[in-house]
């Protein structure tokens, strides 16, 4: 699937992003959620940060699915989620007829 990069201003906490687009006359909307998870707030005592990310993903709202794990810093890791049902619609629209 082709990609278009759109810069999103950073801010603390959770950011809800709604993308509305028309491609070849078909209107589509997709909701994304961008969150920064801070290492020092990890609820699971971990030996490494992978366990922290795993616990975040396992306990996340089931209406959302993982879209992208960003580059971690010493303080946090950015994770982007997408609304599951909308992502399924996007996948159907991109399949060859």
Per-residue pLDDT reduced to its tens digit, 12-66: 667 888 888 787 787 888 888 988 888 988 877 667 888 899 999 999 999 999 9
Domain count, the chain: 1
Residue 1 domain-assigned? no
The band of 93, judged by pLDDT with boundaries at 50, 70 and 90, is: low
Residue 4 domain-assigned? no
Give the burial string for 55-84 (b: 16+ CB within 10 Å, else e).
bbeeeeeeebeeeeeeeeeeeebebbbbbe
Residues spanned by the domain of 78 = 15-91
Residue 8 domain-assigned? no
Read off the pTM. Answer: 0.76
Q: Residue 41 has what DSSP assignment?
A: G
Residue 2 domain-assigned? no
pLDDT for 4 equals 72
């Amino acid at each position: 699937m082709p990609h278009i990069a759109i810069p999103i201003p950073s801010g603390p906490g959770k950011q809800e992003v709604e993308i509305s687009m028309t491609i070849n006359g078909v209107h589509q909307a997709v909701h994304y959620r961008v969150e920064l998870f801070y290492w020092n707030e990890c609820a699971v005592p971990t030996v490494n940060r992978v366990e922290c990310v795993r616990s975040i993903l396992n306990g996340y709202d089931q209406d959302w699915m993982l879209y992208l794990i960003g580059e971690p810093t010493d303080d946090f890791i950015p994770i982007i989620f997408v609304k599951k049902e909308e992502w399924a619609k996007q996948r159907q629209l991109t399949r060859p007829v």
